[in-house]
Structure 1
Amino acid sequence: MTHLVLGATGHVGSAVVDTLIANQQSVAVIIRDTQKADQFHQKGIKVIIADAHNVEELRQAFAQGDRLFILNPPADPSTDTVREETQTVNTIVEALDSSSIKKVVALSTYGAQPGEQLGDLGVLYHMEQLLSKLGKPVTVLRGAYYMSNWDSALQTAKTDGLLHSFYPANFKLPMIAPGDLGLIAAHLLMEHVESTRLYHAQGPSLYSPADVARAFEKALGRSVDCVVIPEVNWKNALISAGFSALAAESMSAMTKVTLDNPTQPDPDVLRAGTTLDEYIESIVRKEQGGNLHSPSLPG
């Protein structure tokens, strides 16, 4: 039995791959960029080159495995991200419909819901609905707000002692380390083929932007203040960071929905172990090794 991983080069997908390998599973990764193949070849992992925009390439890729992890590829923020990501969802599901894949684990998000220009909330809800009509065993894993969304705040926290946020300083929301999400997804993929349902996964606590600032303070050894960006300035802040006008609009709408209607996950939510302090400390250590360079984006 071979597990296929679509989206293996990111934080979550790489953790899925590593967990499967650690459990002595047969793994093949589906990637678009041939330049990223070496990192997998060095681990003895089979690489399948396929473009998530190409149905036939995906069909050929899916024919080479039995179970599939799906992480819909994020679009370049300078594009119309909702349109681009909806197209890849449609392509993936079309290729999957005629495949021999026996089980699917798909990564979605807290708060997924129908709606236009709601960023991942709308795109991933659309994905969930399409997958539910395939007639295949599908597990949907809705992950909380990624702790890695704060990675880009490291530089301003380090140099200016500032952390910019769209959310109020004391607004608590569920967060999860992406590595933990990948670990959970891999174990769901290894479950019995008929063991499927909708899951929510989050870290050990709820965290606020003020908690993130304190975590940076602890890891950096300097004071860090949380600066809240007013809603009226969200779109301009995103456009200044390289987002297209449409992408900025959908990101702002998604943030507004999350702020106004905090998600209440099911009571048996899956709890991950990595704390916010542990995650922030890990990215600070990585940056000190010269490996983390990102434009500053507000959380």
Structure 2
Amino acid sequence: MHIVVLPASPKTSQSTIRALLADPAEPTVTGVYRDARRVPDEFRQHPRFEAVQGDIADAQSLDGVFAGADAVATITPPLHAEADPIAKARELAGNVKHAVLGQGGKSSSVKRLVYVSSVGAQFEQGTGEIRTNHEAEQALLGAAPEVVFMRCAYFMENWATSLATLKADPPFFYSVICPADYKIPMVSVRDIGWICAAQLLADGSAASVDGDPYSTRDVQQAFEAATGKTVEVKLVQDDQLPGFFAQAFKEPMASLFVEMTRSFLPGGVAAKDMNQGAQIRRGKDTLNETVRRMLEE
């Protein structure tokens, strides 16, 4: 079996490739890179892996990339600098669909496409940055006989943004998940990888990639257990969200992150029925394990 991963650089794609290369089924894997220098040595040296050059934003560069592929994994790369990230996400997904189907409009080999999406992507409005996933899902419909949307829970690795402030004296971290004891499902990138690999290698349907529910307080305890220090939580309340995200992003992305955050907090449009219509796949990693791994990297 031959599988193509596009783009191959994001962490979820790397985790998927790693899981595929470790799978007993021994599939061959092609990773598509805009910059060939970003191919990790562990992949470059593997006999069942090949790196090719291609850019998800350049439709012509994808010509022939999927020739002979049985399955395809794709993801929307970060679009933080785009003037219209929603439209861009749909355009990028359209490029993938066009390349998978080929110039004749019908794929000769690809039987399954797996798109790594997000919980809440079933909603057309009110979810902010998650709308990029909704638009991509809509654009990818019909790209292959089987199209699977993997709607992932909150990434545990999102807390990696706190590693710098954990080095402060005293250590602290910011959290937009309020109140502090409010729990949401979280999953590790490593778990997303093996679940994506399983979806590529076997039959299945739309899958919600879920994990155990954790709160800000749980994250605080995980940081304290990993560092052996007392760690302060600085909660970002609702009225502080616009200013908080404006420090990290330009418009319109800052406002999209505000809307996204509000969508999964109590009373938000995506707070209930996040996994509606999907088969749930559960991750194995605990928050404590993932935090320790992040601190060791």
Secondary structure of the corresponding residue to residue 104 of structure 1: strand
Secondary structure of the corresponding residue to residue 219 of structure 1: helix
- Please give the per-residue CA displacement for 1:243-263, whole angstroms capped at 9, x wherever unaligned: 112000111111111112414
Secondary structure of the corresponding residue to residue 145 of structure 2: coil
Distance 1:281 1:77 in 2: 31
TM-score by length of 2: 0.87
Matching of residue 8 in structure 1 with residue 8 in structure 2: yes
Unaligned runs of 5+ in 2: none
Distance 2:181 2:90 in 1: 33
Aligned equivalent of 1:254: 260
Aligned equivalent of 1:74: 78
CA-CA distance at 1:38 after TM superposition: 5.5
Q: 2:216 aligns with which of 205, 209, 212?
A: 209
Q: Is the 8 A contact 1:30 1:49 kept in 2?
A: yes
Question: How many residues are treated as equivalent by the alignment?
Answer: 281
Q: Which amino acid aligns with 1:174?
A: P
Matching of residue 148 in structure 1 with residue 157 in structure 2: yes
Secondary structure of the corresponding residue to residue 255 of structure 1: helix
Distance 2:220 2:92 in 1: 35
Percentage of matched positions with identical amino acids: 26
Aligned equivalent of 2:45: 42
Instruction: Identify if the C-alpha distance between structure 1 residues 252 and 273 changes in structure 2 by more than 3 Å, giving closer, same or farther.
Output: same
Task: Please identify, of 270-279 and 134-143, the stretch whose mean Cα deviation from structure 2 is larger.
Answer: 134-143
Matching of residue 172 in structure 1 with residue 172 in structure 2: no
CA-CA distance at 1:16 after TM superposition: 1.0
CA RMSD of aligned residues (A): 2.1
CA-CA distance at 1:135 after TM superposition: 5.3
Secondary structure of the corresponding residue to residue 64 of structure 2: helix
Q: Is the 8 A contact 2:113 2:144 kept in 1?
A: no
Task: Please identify, of 103-112 and 70-79, the stretch whose mean Cα deviation from structure 2 is larger.
Answer: 70-79
CA-CA distance at 1:7 after TM superposition: 3.0
CA-CA distance at 1:170 after TM superposition: 1.4
Instruction: Give the alignment of 1:1-299 within 5 angstroms.
Output: 1-23=1-23, 24-37=26-39, 39=41, 40-44=43-47, 45-77=49-81, 80-98=84-102, 99-100=107-108, 101-115=110-124, 118-134=127-143, 136-159=145-168, 160-168=170-178, 169-191=180-202, 195-203=203-211, 205-241=212-248, 243-259=249-265, 260=268, 261-264=270-273, 265=275, 269-286=280-297
Secondary structure of the corresponding residue to residue 277 of structure 1: helix
Runs of 4+ in structure 1 over 6 Å off = none
Distance 1:108 1:120 in 2: 12
Q: Is the 8 A contact 2:93 2:140 kept in 1?
A: no
Instruction: Identify if the C-alpha distance between structure 1 residues 34 and 244 changes in structure 2 by more than 3 Å, giving closer, same or farther.
Output: same
Instruction: Identify if the C-alpha distance between structure 1 residues 214 and 79 changes in structure 2 by more than 3 Å, giving closer, same or farther.
Output: farther
Instruction: Identify if the C-alpha distance between structure 1 residues 202 and 77 changes in structure 2 by more than 3 Å, giving closer, same or farther.
Output: farther
Task: Please identify, of 57-66 and 272-281, the stretch whose mean Cα deviation from structure 2 is larger.
Answer: 57-66
CA-CA distance at 1:85 after TM superposition: 2.7
CA-CA distance at 1:95 after TM superposition: 2.3
Distance 2:284 2:157 in 1: 15
Instruction: Identify if the C-alpha distance between structure 1 residues 135 and 62 changes in structure 2 by more than 3 Å, giving closer, same or farther.
Output: closer
Q: Which amino acid aligns with 1:224?
A: V
CA-CA distance at 1:84 after TM superposition: 3.2
Instruction: Identify if the C-alpha distance between structure 1 residues 253 and 230 changes in structure 2 by more than 3 Å, giving closer, same or farther.
Output: same
Unaligned runs of 5+ in 1: 287-299
Secondary structure of the corresponding residue to residue 61 of structure 1: coil
- Please give the per-residue CA displacement for 1:101-153, whole angstroms capped at 9, x wherever unaligned: 22111111111134458444212122222323345211211110000111011
CA-CA distance at 1:93 after TM superposition: 2.2
